[in-house]
Amino acid sequence: MLQIGKALVSLDVIEKKFVCELSACKGICCVHGDSGAPLEDDEISRLENAYLDVKPYLRDSSNKTIENVGVWCVDSDGDKVTTLVDNKECVFVVFENEVATCGIEKAYFDGKTTFRKPVSCHLYPVRITKFESFDAVNYHEWEICKMAIQSGTKLGVPLFVFLKEALVRKYGSEWYSELELAAREYSSYKQK
């Protein structure tokens, strides 16, 4: 583990190579899982406020679910997460050419909302566990990302580099610069 500010970063985040391959996985991480996308407390109101701008991008089944249940709920672990359609995919999933993408993000890129998507989605396959005095920043290994690992290895792109924009969004550019420095020092140490 590397300590960067108040975050303990798993060495996997530095060592693993990763480049998302949507054409291979079809965005299945937005469809399968135990519950919806984890939400931070400050994201709930942003998500609720963005819904009317995102609504035209969503499927009828998603909008019906949101109207009945809301954009978020509490899962069986007590975590705040996005709602699921029929206990399957996230309510914000849209399908294009059989690939699951995010309706929130589509609205964001069309300039309809300033909320891009939950930071947990932006960070995936990194998962953050919050403790009282620190965050644990870990790589979540899942078979569906096998092609992303192969692509990252082929291209030589470390996971933390692939996730730079999301990590900066979560922790800030100064934190990310410290992570880059720690990663360089760790790599130099490992090569000795």
Q: What is the pLDDT of residues 79-101, one digit of tens each?
A: 999 999 988 899 999 999 999 99
What confidence tens digit (pLDDT) does each residue in 124-147 have?
999 999 999 999 999 998 888 999
CA-wise closest residue to 50 among 99, 110, 128: 110
Rounded to the nearest integer, the mean pLDDT of the chain is 93
The encoded tokens of residue 106 equal 């589509």
pTM of the model: 0.89
d(CA 72, CA 39): 8
Q: Please tell me the predicted confidence (pLDDT) of residue 139.
A: 95
The CB-based long-range contact list for 122-125 (8 Å cut-off, 24+ gap) reads 122/165, 122/166, 122/169, 122/170, 123/163, 123/166, 123/167, 123/170, 124/29, 125/18, 125/29, 125/159
Q: Please tell me the predicted confidence (pLDDT) of residue 170.
A: 96
